[in-house]
């Protein structure tokens, strides 16, 4: 170790010389973590991991019990959507992004935009005509929302759409579950 | 009356034993933390997959890990320890 002290450090040492004589300790020792402190840190980490797991599970369980009736909403600009293109919108709330796809045959399909793997936003790939997740290369069938390949464990949440007076309306949301499919 | 030399050998052994115990304690705590990290990842995965039936067992498993951690930190003591909880050395009788 070099003894290349800066002037500031020398000043501090000079100022604290009296205390150094009575309570001698080195600065290196101050930064040292004792085994007991490290053990306590691991204990806190364990508590945090437990609270995290419980919180996540609790939130998921609460979300599963919510069965609110969703109000229908018109999807602005959907009627002008060209075949084989997609449009992003928000449904059922402003915080829930969704994607509307008009397939080449003119049919409309809408899904929640969160990938069922780790919630990355999916996008419509016009070349392959499927919904793809860029994060972990998952893909979904555009007509059914089923998983084509990749890590997603369940289909996308389907949003019901219907035509009303020449406008496309989102009328409800069907969250898919793994149990429904009998997978896993 | 014990001599200094007679005293120092068991004292050194006790220190070595104490160090080994701390080592074992730390290794176990780290292993449990890793297991809990895996459990948290599995919980997130199951929640996103809406695989609700496994959520409760995962949370219980994480809770058990936490209790084991707590017991290791708070209650694990060497059986041959001479020091009391206040730091005084018990006298041999």
Q: Are B22 and A35 in contact (CB under 8 A)?
A: yes
The Cβ-side half-sphere exposure at A61, using a 13 Å CA radius, reads 13
Report yes or no: B40 and A49 within 8 Å, Cβ to Cβ. yes
Q: How confident is the model at residue A21, as a pLDDT?
A: 75
**Nearest-CB residue to A43 (from B50, B52, B69):** B69
Q: Which residues contact A156 (CB under 8 A, 6 or more apart)?
A: A111, A112, A114, A115, A116, A122, A131, A140, A145, A176
Query: Chain-centre distance of CA A104, in angstroms?
Result: 31
Measured CA to CA, the distance from residue A143 to residue A150 in angstroms comes to 18
**Residue B50: what pLDDT?**
83
- In the sheet with A130-133, reading across from the earlier edge strand, the strands are A123-125, A130-133, A138-140, A147-149
Given B48, B59, B73, which is nearest A53 (Cβ)?
B59
* Beta carbons of A59 and B47 less than 8 angstroms apart: yes
Which ipTM value was assigned to this complex?
A: 0.74
Among A39, A45, A48, A50, pick the best mutation site for testing chain B contact (most B Cβ within 10 A).
A50
**According to the model, what pLDDT value does residue A181 have?**
45
Q: Give pLDDT, residue A49.
A: 97
Q: Nearest by CB to B73, which of A39, A50, A119?
A: A39
A176 interaction partners in chain B (CB closer than 8 Å): 50
CA distance B41 to chain A (A): 8
The answer to whether the CB atoms of A59 and B47 lie below 8 A apart is yes
The pairing of beta strand A108-112 with beta strand A158-164: antiparallel
CA distance A73 to A161: 10
pLDDT at position B1, please? 47
Each residue's pLDDT, cut to its tens digit, for chain A (184 residues) gives 444 555 666 777 777 777 777 777 666 666 677 888 889 999 999 999 999 999 999 998 888 777 667 788 888 888 888 999 999 999 888 888 999 999 988 899 999 999 988 889 999 999 999 999 999 999 999 999 999 999 998 999 999 998 888 888 998 887 766 544 433 3
- Which of the residues in chain B have pLDDT under 50? 1-5
Q: Which residues of A touch B (CB under 8 A)?
A: 35, 38-40, 42-43, 45-47, 49-50, 52-54, 56-57, 59-61, 64, 116-119, 153-154, 175-179, 184
What is the pLDDT at residue A34? 80
User: What integer pLDDT is reported at residue B82 of this predicted model?
Assistant: 58
Residues in contact with A78: Cβ distance below 8 Å, sequence separation at least 6, in sequence order: A87, A89, A100, A102, A108, A167, A168
d(CA B68, CA A137): 39
Model pTM score: 0.64
């Amino acid at each position: 170790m070099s003894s290349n002290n800066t002037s500031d450090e020398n000043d501090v040492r000079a100022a604290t010389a009296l205390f150094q004589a009575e309570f001698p300790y080195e600065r290196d020792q101050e930064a040292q973590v004792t085994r007991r402190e490290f053990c306590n840190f691991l204990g806190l980490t364990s508590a945090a991991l437990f609270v995290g797991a419980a919180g996540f599970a609790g939130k998921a369980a609460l979300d599963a019990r919510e069965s609110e009736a969703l109000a229908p909403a018109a999807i602005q600009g959907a009627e002008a959507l060209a075949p084989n293109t997609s449009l992003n919108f928000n449904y059922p709330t402003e915080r829930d992004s969704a994607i509307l796809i008009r397939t080449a045959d003119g049919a409309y399909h809408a899904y929640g935009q969160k990938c069922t793997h780790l919630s990355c936003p999916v996008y419509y790939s016009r070349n392959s005509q499927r919904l793809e997740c860029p994060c972990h290369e998952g893909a979904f069938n555009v007509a059914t929302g089923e998983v084509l390949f990749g890590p997603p464990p369940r289909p996308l949440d389907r949003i019901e759409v219907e035509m009303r007076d020449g406008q496309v309306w989102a009328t409800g949301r069907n969250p898919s579950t793994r149990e429904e499919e009998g997978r896993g | 009356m014990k001599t200094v030399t007679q005293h120092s050998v068991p004292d050194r052994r006790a220190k070595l034993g104490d160090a080994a115990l701390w080592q074992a304690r730390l290794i176990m705590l780290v292993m449990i933390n890793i297991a809990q990290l895996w459990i948290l990842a599995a919980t997130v995965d199951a929640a996103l997959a809406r695989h609700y039936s496994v959520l409760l067992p995962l949370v219980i498993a994480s809770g058990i890990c936490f209790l084991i951690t707590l017991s290791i930190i708070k209650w694990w003591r060497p059986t041959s320890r001479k020091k009391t909880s206040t730091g005084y050395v018990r006298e041999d009788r």
